[in-house]
Amino acid sequence: MSFNGTLFATALVGLDTAAWPGYVHQAHSHLGSLASTDRRFILAVIFVSFPIVIILLNVASQLIPKSSSRPPVVFHWLPFIGSAIQYGNDPISFFVGCRVKYGDVFTFILFGRQMTVALGPRGNNFVTGGKLSQMNAEDAYTHLTTPCFGKDVVYDVPNAVFMEQKRFLKVGLSLENFRAYVGMIEAEVETFLAHDSAFRVLQSGSAAWGTFHPLKVLAEITILTASRTLQGRAVRARLDKTFAQRYADLDGGFTPLNFLFPNLPLESYRRRDRAQKAMSDFYIQCIRNRSETAESEHDMIAALLQQKYKNGRKIKEHEIAHIMIGLLMGGQHTSSSTGTWALLSLAQYPKVAGALYKEQVERFGTGKKGQFRTPSYEELRALPWLDSVIRETLRIHAPIHSIIRKVTADTPVPPALAAPAGYGGGAYVVPRGHYVLSSPAVSQVDPRVWRAAYTWDPARWHDAGGAAQAAGKAYEDAHGETVDYGFGAVSKGTESPYQPFGAGRHRCIGEQFAYLQIGMVICTIIRKVELRLEAPFPENNYHTMITLPKDPCSIGYRRRHPKEV
Each residue's pLDDT tens digit, 80-109: 999 999 999 999 999 999 999 999 999 999
What pLDDT, on a 0 to 100 scale, did the predictor assign at position 6? 36
What pLDDT, on a 0 to 100 scale, did the predictor assign at position 487? 79
Beta-bridge mates of residue 549: 540
Segment 499-511 shows an average pLDDT of: 93
Inform me whether the pLDDT recorded for 514 exceeds 60: yes
What is residue 410's three-state secondary structure?
coil
Rounded Cα gap, residues 563 and 396, in angstroms: 35
| Total count of residues recorded for the chain | 565
Query: Cβ-count burial of 364 within 10 angstroms (0-12 exposed, 13-18 middle, 19+ buried)?
Result: middle
Inform me whether the pLDDT recorded for 18 exceeds 90: no
Q: Give the residue among 451, 436, 339, 438 at the shortest CA–CA distance from 397.
A: 339
Which residues have a Cβ under 8 Å from the Cβ of 20 and sit 6 or more positions away? none
Rounded Cα gap, residues 182 and 187, in angstroms: 9
Inform me whether the pLDDT recorded for 512 exceeds 80: yes
What is residue 398's three-state secondary structure?
coil
What is residue 49's three-state secondary structure?
helix
What pLDDT, on a 0 to 100 scale, did the predictor assign at position 7? 32
Beta-bridge mates of residue 136: 406
Backbone CA torsion sign across 198, 202, 203, 204: positive
Counting Cα atoms < 13 Å in the Cβ hemisphere of 199 gives: 23
Phi–psi pair at 118, nearest 5 degrees: -125, 115
Rounded Cα gap, residues 204 and 193, in angstroms: 11
Q: How far is CA 265 from the centre of its chain?
A: 24
Inform me whether the pLDDT recorded for 521 exceeds 50: yes
What is residue 252's three-state secondary structure?
coil
What is residue 532's three-state secondary structure?
strand
The CA-based angle 243-248-251, given to 5 degrees, is 125
Region of residue 504 (left: phi > 0; alpha: psi -120 to 50; beta: else): left
Rounded Cα gap, residues 207 and 209, in angstroms: 7
- Say if residues 72 and 102 touch (Cβ distance below 8 Å): yes
Cα–Cα distance list, 469 to 349, 441, 455, 459 (Å):
22, 17, 17, 11
What pLDDT, on a 0 to 100 scale, did the predictor assign at position 423? 56
Q: Give the residue among 460, 483, 458, 459 at the shortest CA–CA distance from 470.
A: 460
What pLDDT, on a 0 to 100 scale, did the predictor assign at position 3? 40
Q: Give the residue among 193, 456, 192 at the shortest CA–CA distance from 350.
A: 456
Q: Give the residue among 479, 544, 538, 140 at the shortest CA–CA distance from 334.
A: 544
What pLDDT, on a 0 to 100 scale, did the predictor assign at position 191? 97
What is residue 117's three-state secondary structure?
strand
Q: Who has greater pLDDT, 343 or 331?
A: 343
Looking at residue 102, its amino acid is Y
The pLDDT > 90 percentage for the chain reads 78
What pLDDT, on a 0 to 100 scale, did the predictor assign at position 36? 63
pLDDT digits (tens, 9 = 90+) for 540-559: 999 999 999 999 999 999 99
- Say if residues 536 and 85 touch (Cβ distance below 8 Å): no
Q: Give the residue among 167, 133, 169, 138 at the shortest CA–CA distance from 154.
A: 138
Rounded Cα gap, residues 107 and 86, in angstroms: 14
Which residues have a Cβ under 8 Å from the Cβ of 241 and sit 6 or more positions away? none
Inform me whether the pLDDT recorded for 444 exceeds 60: yes
Q: Give the residue among 193, 191, 190 at the shortest CA–CA distance from 201.
A: 193
Segment 282-288 shows an average pLDDT of: 94
What pLDDT, on a 0 to 100 scale, did the predictor assign at position 8? 31
Counting Cα atoms < 13 Å in the Cβ hemisphere of 206 gives: 8
Inform me whether the pLDDT recorded for 564 exceeds 60: no
What pLDDT, on a 0 to 100 scale, did the predictor assign at position 10? 34
pLDDT digits (tens, 9 = 90+) for 272-283: 999 999 999 999
Region of residue 151 (left: phi > 0; alpha: psi -120 to 50; beta: else): beta
DSSP 69: T
The CA-based angle 299-302-308, given to 5 degrees, is 130
Write down the H helix ranges in 90-137.
91-102, 120-128
What pLDDT, on a 0 to 100 scale, did the predictor assign at position 227? 93
- Say if residues 320 and 344 touch (Cβ distance below 8 Å): no
Q: Give the residue among 101, 104, 99 at the shortest CA–CA distance from 414.
A: 104
CB neighbours of residue 144 within 10 Å? 19
What pLDDT, on a 0 to 100 scale, did the predictor assign at position 275? 97
Inform me whether the pLDDT recorded for 565 exceeds 50: no
Q: Give the residue among 387, 353, 352 at the shortest CA–CA distance from 468.
A: 387
Q: How many helices (H) and strands (E) does the chain have?
A: 22, 14
Phi–psi pair at 545, nearest 5 degrees: -65, -35
Which residues have a Cβ under 8 Å from the Cβ of 308 and sit 6 or more positions away? 314, 315
pLDDT averaged over every residue in the chain: 90
pLDDT digits (tens, 9 = 90+) for 230-248: 998 888 998 888 999 999 9
What is residue 401's three-state secondary structure?
coil
